[in-house]
Structure 1
């Protein structure tokens, strides 16, 4: 046999051997999906609602006059005490402070007719700025979660204050805007202690504690997903396989969700399961 032919046969055999080894190597590789995991534990879960509100005076008095103004005795920014006379009219009318506070609007002038009532404005406005409250306008979904006496955290810039829900309106109010009608339910938050360096009219961030449960079975919220019937499920890891578990859930925080049924303490769950994770899929933990 010619050397050329022998070398050709050997080359074919070497290529065949390489292909065989590659196929064998690939067949030995695992198809397991690498996953991050967490653990089902007993935890305390605090459910909160985050919204915004507007700082308002503790009390406000809109004084309305009629007739010709004789004398305006105050200006915006003046501090007055209860029963101080603020303005007089030619018909004998006097505008009198109903409480200690600060004059925040003066819309009348000496020797001019007072027409503010026709324009829907106060002649003089008096506000109690010794402390402030927060006015909330709750949406339909928010209103059902909020109740009087719930604890509140109020944040403005780098300042944080504690407070509580002190009032909640019984009915919603509709407002007209360029995009149509909208409705909101009013509620008021009071500060536990009078805040400093805050100003009426500005918005603040409000976090309301709406519910708390202690020592309950909890799932990392990253492990929660839903099936094609929109039922809550999670995947546990058992013997190297992903096992789908239908669960019943309760309240949630930003990190945890209460599990009422379907899981046991200590079970390992898959976090942020990808579309590759199906029931009985082979998985390996990071």
Structure 2
């Protein structure tokens, strides 16, 4: 019994000492960190990674067919507009082009032969034939007249007279034919003949142009200045029309592509400002804005093997992009909400008490619990809409030792 009484007395003494010590602390003041409530800027944002892309990316396709005999570029190479990126075998087409050239020349020569200037010698020959026929006609005419006189005088037979008459008619017909041929030659080739020859020339030229077009398809040219982002073909393979060969990007026109978790995408809006940072650009922080949000989510497997629903977001880069190249991975902070010149406090100062958000205010050197109304919440600061005034002092990191009414150093 004596031991029990001693123990109880000792316990009471300890409690009294603790209470006295607590009272002393209450009177002397608890050392705490404090800060002054002030106005400032607060932002709410979604953070993720993004990849630098060319917004003028273009896939180039093979248009011809045959063996690929020379690929002149590799991934990462810079190219200029109209640079040759790939060539294919052209031997068979070159033979066809040679034959087409021959047909063009033949058709042109045929058409040229109808030109009046080439008829000078033909006219001379025709005129000579007319003169020759005219001489024969005059001779046959004189012979017929003589034969008629002789026949009437019964000096020649009826058969001889008929022979002379037939010779005259034949000479007359030959003269008419010669004159007609001369007139035709003087008029030139008939228009329908010329039109036929001209059509022949046009057809030959079309054939030639078609073959030249096929030859052009046996190579791929860079459509603009840029960089080779992907090479999708190899030497000595057989290329077919429609085969994707290269992806070319314009390095002067870049954008970012981020895949945001579907749980966060509702916070993101077109026009949201973006802060861009990362090792690839050192200490620089670039500015951008959201320009496009994909209409649907897609399944993406993270680096840890976790399957996630993410939505593609396109970000326009507002600053100079000289530091960037397609394929860079950067950090993006999409600012979804923000205010300036508003009351803010450290998030460490806010705690839950009696189902309300509260802070400890230092009032006349003592800790006083004050209920507040929160606004925007960032990762380190919280906006205060009601409950505090600018210039008031609060405890920044209250712990369980701080009690309301406790004196604060």
TM-score by length of 1: 0.73
Q: Does 1:152 align with 2:274?
A: yes
Contact 1:46 1:213 in 2 (8 A): yes
Corresponding residue number in structure 2 for 1:134: 256
Contact 1:74 1:103 in 2 (8 A): no
Shift of 1:269: 1.3
Contact 2:81 2:221 in 1 (8 A): no
Change (3 A) 1:140 1:243: farther
Of 29, 45, 57 in structure 1, the residue corresponding to residue 24 of structure 2 is: 29
Shift of 1:249: 0.8
Larger RCO (CA under 8 A, 6+ residues apart): 2
What are the ranges of 5 or more consecutive residues in structure 1 without an aligned counterpart?
1-21
Corresponding residue number in structure 1 for 2:342: 216
**In angstroms, what is the RMSD of aligned CA positions?**
3.5
Shift of 1:131: 3.3
Q: How does 1:54-69 map to 2 (within 5 A)?
A: 54-65=51-62, 68-69=66-67
Q: How does 1:41-190 map to 2 (within 5 A)?
A: 41-65=38-62, 68-72=66-70, 74-76=72-74, 77-81=77-81, 86-88=86-88, 95=220, 97-114=222-239, 122-155=244-277, 156-176=281-301, 179-190=305-316
User: Per residue, is there more helix in 1 or in 2?
Assistant: 2
Corresponding residue number in structure 1 for 2:408: 284
Distance 2:400 2:227 in 1: 62
Distance 2:233 2:49 in 1: 34
Contact 1:34 1:283 in 2 (8 A): no
What are the ranges of 5 or more consecutive residues in structure 2 without an aligned counterpart?
1-16, 94-213
Corresponding residue number in structure 2 for 1:17: none
Q: How does 1:172-251 map to 2 (within 5 A)?
A: 172-176=297-301, 179-227=305-353, 229=355, 231-251=356-376
User: Per residue, is there more strand in 1 or in 2?
Assistant: 1
Contact 1:80 1:103 in 2 (8 A): no
Distance 2:342 2:255 in 1: 35
Distance 1:224 1:52 in 2: 30
